[in-house]
Structure 1
Amino acid sequence: MPVSPRSVPIATFTVNPTVDLSLVVAHLLPEGKTRAQVHSIRGGGGGINVARCVRRLGGAAVAVHTSGREVGARLERLLDDEQLEHESIEIAEDTREAFVLADNAEGRSYHIVAPGPVLTMTEQQRCLDTIADIAARCDYFVLSGGATPGLSEDFSAAVARTAGARGARLIADIAGAQLTTMLRERVFLLRLDRTEAGALLGHPVTSFADARAVNTLLLERGACEHAITTVGALGAVCSDSRAHYELAAPTLPSPPRSDACAGDSLVAAVAYRLSRGDRVLDACAVGVAAAAATVVLPGTDVFDPATLESLTADIDIVRISDEGRREDLGHPEKGFQTLG
């Protein structure tokens, strides 16, 4: 489905999308055949998931993505079938496929992802040209998801420069070498998970204090205006040049099932609320609730809006100033409007 000429509040880019096959088994057996039920087949990858979640919140987003050969054609059909606005960029090699297996007996999910296609330098430039066009017509541009094999290490940095030059505020949720090189740029907001935060810090991130240290490092480097680092079940820390905010995760309504789309749900909620005019802190609080509402679901399912709203009101926020003073700000319901 091609993008219309009109402006959109949010655009996302996925360089390495997937066709996600989600299966459910009663119990995964080490030998013989394990019979499975097909839970869902849908287009996936960071930016596509973010765009889907933005729409679930009632917002508008366009998902820009690569598309190659037969699997790419299937990806586009799946996105068309769910009427998700998207723009494909043709590449020569097949788009990758991924599998999510939910084991009901263990209450666990397994996410199995292939490396994906290799993009030529011409194809990488084609991506940047498309991004330049779309970033000029959106307020927030979300760069999310894994890289393809052999992708130029400067590619995400080039995306940041391209989007910034067109006036879009970049929200980035990437990893590895792509993140390392992009830290030389200055973007609007960076989201890090525990793995990437630990790599930057030099030791595992297991506490709010660790997350504050990572955010401080990012801000002092000038890599971003705002940073949000997640700390698993604890929640996240949102930081800017004035203060850190600890966002304690809400109590889950049921045991966690899958974290396959938790980060994408967080980023989508942040982008959506920012596009509606929220402060970054308020948007990040909704983002933490969105991640919590997603991890209780199997496979690549994402939050139910009603669950998200109830969990948002249960987020506990503590402000920590540069001087180290702690101020309990209470729950979001006391300080800002949640959904609606």
Structure 2
Amino acid sequence: MSHIATLTFSPSLDSATLTAKIYPEGKLRCAAPVFEPGGGGINVARAIQRLGGQVLAIFPAGGPTGQHLTELLQAEGLRVAVESTRDWTRQNLHVLAESTGEQYRFVMPGASLCSEEIHGLRQKVAALPAHSLLVISGSLPPGMDVADLVDFIVFAKQNHLRCVVDSSGPALAAAVAEGGLLLIKPNLSELAELTGLVLDSPQAIITAARSLIAKRASKLVVVSMGPQGALAISADQSVQVVPPPVKKLSTVGAGDSMVGAMCLKLAASASLEEMVRYGVAAGTAATLRHGTQLCDRDETQKLYQQLATGS
């Protein structure tokens, strides 16, 4: 089993509450907030932990919000490598309006990182054992641009780490242009933008993904397809897994749960089919839970077996 680490450049302390209804000007009386860790790589790490895996979460944190975030992760039993920062870690706010069932998500800009703090994160990456999986997930904060992200990918490859990148927009495009990745997880529109191809059929999706594989952008491509699940593609295989019909309570955390589950299977050298099936099972399991909760291990295993048998 390979070592797994996640790298989150823009973590957050997420607070969730509810109120009767949302309207302008007046005071909105809210319930006591619930605090949870947030940020792409951090949630991937939490999903791996919930699924029974071992993982190290690398991230910057500063101020009382950063301390609270770190304490929450440690309370979950997660191993952390924290780079202390001058700026306070951001705090996001999620509000549920009970009268309508609508959820409002107020996402703040990430805390900026200076060059010394970026260097500190790089040194934590350098300490990882060779051939570890390094999952880089989430947005970039002020003080970082796509060139810094590419530098991290180059540095990781020089240290013989296998990179999984789950991002979007210019960050994903820059990572793909650098290449040498183990896994990327674009959705259909992102894959079309990356390749410039029209994705009007399953074969067109496979062809587009393999054009990236042929350029050595990534060894594996898993395309998120919404209700149609996911299509996993390698140089010589393709497997589509469609999730079973379930009553979704929330889609928050589904993508991070999926990535975490797939990385567990990658670390265990599982087959392409096992990897994507477990990923879809974990992503689906996350939708069965309220708010920002991630996948449950027992529910994920149940769905995994259901997908395997087709029952």
TM-score by length of structure 2 reads: 0.89
**Distance across 1 between alignment mates of 2:29 and 2:202:** 42
User: 1:239-281 CA deviation, whole Å, 9 max, x = no partner?
Assistant: 01113222112211x2x23222111100110111222331233
Deviation at 1:234, TM superposition (A): 1.4
Aligned match for 1:175, one of 168, 171, 185 = 168
Cα distance change on mapping 1:286 and 1:300 into 2, 3 Å? same
Letter in 1 for 2:303: L
Equivalent position SS for 1:59: coil
Give the 5 Å matches for 1:242-281: 242-252=236-246, 254=247, 256-281=248-273
Aligned match for 1:56, one of 47, 50, 55 = 50
Question: More displaced, 118-127 or 205-214?
Answer: 205-214
Q: Partner residue of 2:153?
A: 160
Instruction: List runs of 5+ in structure 2 lacking aligned partners.
Output: none
Q: Which structure has more strand as a fraction of its residues?
A: 1
Cα distance change on mapping 1:250 and 1:31 into 2, 3 Å? farther
**Distance across 2 between alignment mates of 1:192 and 1:234:** 14
**Distance across 1 between alignment mates of 2:140 and 2:270:** 30
Cα distance change on mapping 1:55 and 1:143 into 2, 3 Å? same
Equivalent position SS for 1:36: coil
**Distance across 2 between alignment mates of 1:28 and 1:217:** 47
User: 1:116-142 CA deviation, whole Å, 9 max, x = no partner?
Assistant: 1222223222221221112x2662111
Q: Is the 8 A contact 1:8 1:60 kept in 2?
A: no
Cα distance change on mapping 1:283 and 1:95 into 2, 3 Å? same
Letter in 2 for 1:172: V
Question: More displaced, 213-222 or 50-59?
Answer: 213-222
TM-score by length of structure 1 reads: 0.82
Cα distance change on mapping 1:12 and 1:281 into 2, 3 Å? same
Cα distance change on mapping 1:213 and 1:19 into 2, 3 Å? farther
Cα distance change on mapping 1:232 and 1:129 into 2, 3 Å? same
Q: Partner residue of 1:191?
A: 185
Are 1:239 and 2:248 counterparts?
no
**Distance across 1 between alignment mates of 2:301 and 2:166:** 23
Deviation at 1:30, TM superposition (A): 5.5
Letter in 2 for 1:279: S
CA RMSD of aligned residues (A): 2.6
Give the 5 Å matches for 1:66-215: 66-134=60-128, 136=129, 139-183=132-176, 184-194=178-188, 196-200=190-194, 208=202, 211-215=205-209
**Distance across 1 between alignment mates of 2:200 and 2:119:** 39
**Distance across 2 between alignment mates of 1:105 and 1:234:** 31
Equivalent position SS for 1:58: coil
Letter in 2 for 1:143: I
Deviation at 1:202, TM superposition (A): 5.4
Question: More displaced, 33-42 or 287-296?
Answer: 33-42
**Distance across 1 between alignment mates of 2:211 and 2:21:** 44
Q: Which structure has more helix as a fraction of its residues?
A: 2
User: 1:206-229 CA deviation, whole Å, 9 max, x = no partner?
Assistant: 874564354234223321000101
Count of aligned positions: 309
User: 1:133-187 CA deviation, whole Å, 9 max, x = no partner?
Assistant: 12x2662111111111241322222222222222222111012222121112211
Letter in 2 for 1:144: S
**Distance across 1 between alignment mates of 2:263 and 2:76:** 21
Are 1:297 and 2:284 counterparts?
no
Instruction: List runs of 5+ in structure 1 lacking aligned partners.
Output: 1-6, 316-331, 335-340
Q: Is the 8 A contact 2:51 2:296 kept in 1?
A: no
Deviation at 1:8, TM superposition (A): 7.3
Q: Is the 8 A contact 1:25 1:104 kept in 2?
A: yes
**Distance across 1 between alignment mates of 2:2 and 2:30:** 40
